[in-house]
């Protein structure tokens, strides 16, 4: 049998860092260990029943058994515009400022291929979502890291970039509420970003995957709420987190008309849009009561309190995330993030995500998800306490 070689472009893709770690977690589970997996980012709650019901109804309609429109069902795109007007007071033209996506990830990987030529620079947050790098590699572009540091509230500092780096850059990724740090963006920061993008002709792509998940009564800002944002960029939204629809693979990009058109042209050559029944169910999610979203955020906030307060109680100095369903925790000085992952898995049957997997500046941290019950979080804390690696605070 002939073994056909991968293309150079495929070989250029970064390694899936977390795939090997997932194998180790699965190996421990298969050996019979009761592993509490706090390292994954997969929502643990089911899709709300009214959305599932709509899919069931829509799946029976013969019209949905045919190819859907290439660029998405009009009623779904209109629902997206209605959603953004209701939630963020942002006006969108559903025909020219909305692109339907097969989940947010596909849009994030596609966009560098839509806008960049080989050798162009892309400004990428570090730590950040690993698949930003996949799109950069497929476009044969060059990544410029924007460090996210605690002392700057995990926001990039544009003054750290050299003029040469800026001049070669055509695209920038941002993500708030942030994965992995749980940080949120201020209006002032987004205003600075719009000015930066305009001055330097850089397209801003804001990954708003966790847009619904803000804590302490704070609703995360949409980038498009800022004056002039549509002039310089787009926002990518997914129903995966807001409505527990991760497996449904449905999301959308909204904003700058020229960028939306490029995405649509690119996707015209790859897909014939998403199954019409899913688009109808997604429309139902966006337009119906949002009480399910409120309850979901309340659930994550309750879990956050259990995790953060419990870890502080055992002597781990941590800060509560302001958004997303992740906490970003400093590892003990004697460990690297990867060593700490291995230690917790072996000694406590607790899995976390090493910060180094999110980039160079993620070293020294681990990401912990709020994606299991309060009881399991308490059990994880108890197991970590039993390792006696943290000194309890003086009473």
Contact (Cβ atoms closer than 8 angstroms) between residue 285 and residue 251: no
What single-letter DSSP state applies at residue 394? P
CATH 3.90.1150.10 fits domain 8-47+291-386 = yes
Q: DSSP labels for 352-375?
A: -EEGGGG-GGGTTEEEEE--S-HH
The architecture that CATH gives domain 49-287 is 3-Layer(aba) Sandwich (3.40)
CATH fold match for the domains 8-47+291-386 and 49-287:
no
Helix (H, G, I), strand (E, B) or coil at 250: coil
> Which DSSP string corresponds to 101-116?
ESHHHHHHHHHHHHH-
Residue 15: predicted pLDDT: 81
In angstroms, the CA 131 to CA 44 distance is 22
Q: Going residue by residue through the chain (395 aa), what tens digit of pLDDT does each one get? A: 999 999 988 988 888 777 877 888 898 889 999 999 999 889 999 999 999 999 999 999 999 999 999 999 999 999 999 999 999 999 999 999 999 999 999 999 999 999 999 999 999 999 999 999 999 999 999 999 999 999 999 999 999 999 999 999 999 999 999 999 999 999 999 999 999 999 999 999 999 999 999 999 999 999 999 999 999 999 999 999 999 999 999 999 999 999 999 999 999 999 999 999 999 999 999 999 999 999 999 999 999 999 999 999 999 999 999 999 999 999 999 999 999 999 999 999 999 999 999 999 999 999 999 999 999 999 999 999 999 998 754 44
User: What is the spatial distance between Cα 66 and Cα 275, in angstroms, rounded to a whole number?
Assistant: 9
Alpha carbon separation from 197 to 95, 200, 221, 230 (Å, rounded): 25, 5, 18, 11
Give φ, ψ of 269 to 5 degrees. Answer: -90, -10
- The secondary structure of 189-247 as a DSSP string is HHHHHHHHHHHHT-EEEEE-TTTT-B-TTPPPPPGGGSTTHHHHEEEEEEHHHHSS-GG
Ordered by start, the domain boundaries in the chain are 8-47+291-386, 49-287
* Cis upstream peptide for 180 (omega within 30°): yes
DSSP secondary structure code for residue 140 in this structure: T
């Amino acid at each position: 049998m002939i073994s056909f070689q991968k293309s150079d472009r495929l070989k250029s893709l970064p390694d899936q860092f977390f795939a090997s770690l997932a194998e180790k977690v699965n190996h421990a589970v298969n050996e019979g260990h009761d592993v509490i997996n706090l390292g994954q980012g997969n929502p643990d709650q089911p899709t709300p029943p009214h959305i599932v019901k709509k899919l069931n109804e829509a799946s029976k309609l013969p019209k949905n058994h045919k190819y859907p429109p290439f660029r998405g069902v009009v009623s779904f795109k209109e629902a997206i515009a209605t959603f953004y007007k209701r939630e963020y007071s942002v006006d969108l033209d559903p025909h020219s400022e909305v692109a339907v996506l097969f989940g947010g990830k596909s849009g994030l990987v596609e966009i560098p291929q839509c806008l960049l030529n080989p050798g162009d620079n892309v400004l990428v947050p570090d730590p950040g979502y690993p698949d930003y790098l996949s799109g950069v590699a497929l476009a044969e572009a060059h990544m410029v890291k924007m460090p996210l540091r605690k002392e700057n509230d995990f926001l990039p500092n544009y003054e750290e970039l050299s003029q040469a780096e800026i001049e070669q850059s055509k695209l920038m990724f941002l993500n708030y509420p942030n994965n992995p740090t749980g940080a949120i963006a201020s209006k002032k920061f987004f205003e600075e970003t719009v000015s930066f993008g305009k001055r330097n002709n850089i397209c801003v792509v804001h990954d708003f995957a966790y847009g619904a998940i803000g804590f302490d009564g704070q609703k995360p800002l949409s980038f498009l709420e800022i004056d002039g944002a549509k002039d310089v960029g787009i926002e990518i939204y997914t129903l995966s987190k807001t409505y527990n629809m991760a497996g449904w693979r449905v999301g959308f990009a909204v904003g700058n008309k020229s960028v939306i058109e490029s995405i649509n042209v690119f996707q015209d050559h790859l897909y014939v849009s998403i199954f019409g029944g899913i688009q109808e169910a997604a429309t139902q999610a966006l337009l119906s009561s949002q009480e399910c979203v409120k309850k979901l955020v309340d659930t994550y906030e309750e879990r956050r309190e259990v995790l953060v307060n419990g870890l502080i109680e055992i002597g781990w100095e941590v800060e509560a995330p302001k958004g997303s369903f992740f906490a970003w925790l400093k590892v003990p000085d004697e460990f690297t993030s990867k060593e700490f992952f291995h230690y917790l898995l072996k000694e406590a049957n607790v899995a976390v995500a090493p910060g180094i997997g999110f980039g160079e500046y993620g070293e020294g941290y681990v990401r912990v998800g709020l994606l299991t019950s309060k009881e399991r979080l308490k059990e994880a804390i108890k197991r970590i306490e039993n390792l006696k690696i943290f000194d309890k605070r003086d009473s």
